[in-house]
Amino acid sequence: MRVLITRPEREAANLAQALRARRHDPVIAPLFRLELLHPPADFAALLAAAQAILITSANGARALAEATEQRSKPVFAVGDTTAATAEGLGFSTVISAAGDAAALSDRVRERLDPKAGPLLHVSGTDVAGALAPQGFDVQRVVLYEAREAEALPEAARAALEARALDAATFFSPRAARLFVRLVTEAGLEEACRPVAAIAISAAAAQPLANLPFARIVAAERPTRQAVLDEIDRLPLPGVQSPGPMTDTPPPPPTEPPPTAARTIDATVVPAPRRGLGVIGAFVTGLIAAILVLAAALLSLPYWPQEARSLWRGPAAAPAPPAAAPVMDTAALDSAKRELGARLDDLDKRVRAAATTAAQAVPADNRPAAADPAITELRRKLEALESRPAPEADTSSLKSEIVALRAALQSLDQAVAGQKASVDKAAEAAQASVSGEQKAIAAARGSAVIGIAARLSAAITAGQPFAADLNLLQPLAQGDAKLGEPIAAVQPQAAKGVTSRAALSASFPAMAKAAMADDLADDSFWQRLLGKLKSVVSLRRTGADVPGDSAEAKLARAEAALQAGDLAKAVELVKSLPTQTSRATTDWLARAEAHLAAQRAVDQLAAQGVSLLGSAR
């Protein structure tokens, strides 16, 4: 299944790795950005007086490690994940309550004595409730802040719009409330119908009832493992579930929810065109007008005398029997010229209308340009011009001229109407093409954003990403802005790049070797000191170590690395003296490869957002 992760970046990366191990596809969309705060002025005194430290999140463990170098104080963690984070940061005595705040309070009462001293609770600016084990003096210190996202993350928006999510995870009531608000502001409530919401507790599940999720599930225990177990219990996409698992089931959908998309197809196939088409309708109208005109001419002898008089015009007065009729050849020539000019103008208008309509119709659907009505009228006019002038009655000739004029007027009106229809059809076709282009751009943007999120997660976890990168190849054809970042990360796709966690773990060994090389010059005592430095690590750490020595720069680089600023750490390591290059070359190469891959993924995500913006 495809699972949405709303946790901050570091927790999201670890959860994504656990989901991949269970054969799920994570979609990382952090709702919070972690910011470490400067410790208060009396923090050192509070820490020294405390008999133990309480932490209720992995972020608290990281903030504590950043605020102090002391690792010997006992640490009581709310759950196993938080305890594992604290142990990984070097704290020597870590006790896990394996539960929630109540379980943590119970564990403190079991293991500690209230008379031994106060407790120090390291927390963020926003806490669900006060942590106060009975009988203990608990002093709370704020060392980090989780800043809320101002809008729904683009990865979450794209996945919801594409109906590409099967489940979403929520690890706090605050995250659930923020997600409900951002989804409502984005107008994507209906996109949540096929999604199952998995909350870490009943309190975190309660705000989710404001969205029409397919089901809302609260984990049996407030742990990450329990959330993963609930995801595994969900029915696979397309399998009928036994029913909603909330106390109050959501209202039934007015229409069947669409099946969650498993992949994003970047190929858009236009629907086949049906019907006569624009030119076909135009020609059909002309033929119908000609048929009506022919029927009128054929039925003329059967019309009443009044109707025939209206059609033919006033009858010519009979000539006196004694005098021979005289033909008005000048008037006849003028009528011929007028008819010829009107035929030419009509022919030009028909050709212009046909050309306009042809631009909106594919070339293989265009009919022949010749118009049978114009051809027939031209034939009649040429026959009239070549007809010898009779010496007798000219009334029939004049009647034919009047009839031709009436036919031309009717045909002129029909052409004007058809031209208006052609213009409207051309505008509609142009609007349809523009809409299809916007739809294609939106589909490409959503696909690029989704794949960029998968690539970012793989780079963070240090895993290969060749399969995800191959998904971008069809989307990048003809787009240089997509092709450049793809080419930049292609060499590392098969094996992946070193994760930030691995770079942090290998930094102390590299720093120890670099300091030894920096001191080992040609003198015997310096070489001896370098040997000792390579065996025993005695160096200062922390972001506040002053000076330009190798030891000071390495200390600041390590602090930047722990704070998540890999680029600053690389810059400081590269500024070390040249004699340290033997120790730093391998670490720098792996770190720069990681930074280059992350920059390429950021470019892909930015281009995906640009494509979405052009479609709106």
Q: What is the pLDDT of residues 195-204, one digit of tens each?
A: 999 999 999 9
Tens-digit pLDDT profile for residues 441-500: 777 778 888 888 888 888 888 888 888 778 877 777 767 777 788 888 888 888 888 988
Residue among 71, 190, 76 at smallest CA distance from 133: 76
Can you give the pLDDT at residue 550? 80
Mean model confidence pLDDT for the chain: 76
Can you give the pLDDT at residue 305? 61
Tens-digit pLDDT profile for residues 505-515: 888 888 888 87
Dist. CA 231–CA 294, nearest whole Å: 76
Under the banding of pLDDT at 50, 70 and 90, the label for residue 146 is confident
Can you give the pLDDT at residue 476? 74
Q: What tokens appear for 245 in the block?
A: 């698992």
Q: How many CA atoms lie within 13 A of 322 on its CB side?
A: 0
Dist. CA 323–CA 319, nearest whole Å: 7
What CATH code is assigned to 2-21+150-233? 3.40.50.10090
Cα angle vertex 539, ends 562, 84, to 5°?
Answer: 40
Can you give the pLDDT at residue 81? 81
Cα-to-chain-centroid distance, residue 426: 32
3-state secondary structure 171-190: CCHHHHHHHHHHHHHHCCCH
Can you give the pLDDT at residue 169? 96
pLDDT higher for 288 or 549? 549
Dist. CA 243–CA 253, nearest whole Å: 13
- 541 close to 562: Cβ distance less than 8 angstroms: no
Can you give the pLDDT at residue 486? 84
- Give, for 415, the enclosing helix (H) or strand (E): helix 395-461
Question: For 318, left (φ over 0), alpha (ψ -120 to 50), or beta?
Answer: beta
Can you give the pLDDT at residue 166? 93
Mean per-residue pLDDT, 206-232: 92
Dist. CA 33–CA 56, nearest whole Å: 18
Under the banding of pLDDT at 50, 70 and 90, the label for residue 176 is very high
Tens-digit pLDDT profile for residues 21-41: 999 999 999 998 888 888 898
Longest dimension (CA), the chain: 151
| φ/ψ (deg, to 5) at 89 | -85, 0
Under the banding of pLDDT at 50, 70 and 90, the label for residue 85 is confident
Q: What tokens appear for 40 in the block?
A: 């208060």
Mean per-residue pLDDT, 146-170: 90
Q: What tokens appear for 616 in the block?
A: 């709106």
Architecture of domain 33-148: 3-Layer(aba) Sandwich (3.40)
Tens-digit pLDDT profile for residues 531-564: 555 555 555 666 677 777 887 888 888 888 888 8
DSSP 193: T
Asked whether the predicted pLDDT for residue 362 surpasses 80, the reply is: no
Can you give the pLDDT at residue 272? 39
pTM of the model: 0.38
Residue among 554, 561, 548 at smallest CA distance from 501: 561
Dist. CA 34–CA 605, nearest whole Å: 21
Asked whether the predicted pLDDT for residue 269 surpasses 50, the reply is: no
Asked whether the predicted pLDDT for residue 54 surpasses 50, the reply is: yes
Asked whether the predicted pLDDT for residue 367 surpasses 60, the reply is: no
Of these ranges, 11-25, 226-240, 411-425, 437-451, the one predicted with the greatest mean pLDDT is 11-25
Can you give the pLDDT at residue 290? 73
DSSP 615: T
| φ/ψ (deg, to 5) at 199 | -110, 150
- Give, for 560, the enclosing helix (H) or strand (E): helix 550-562
Residues of the chain with CATH 3.40.50.10090: 2-21+150-233, 33-148
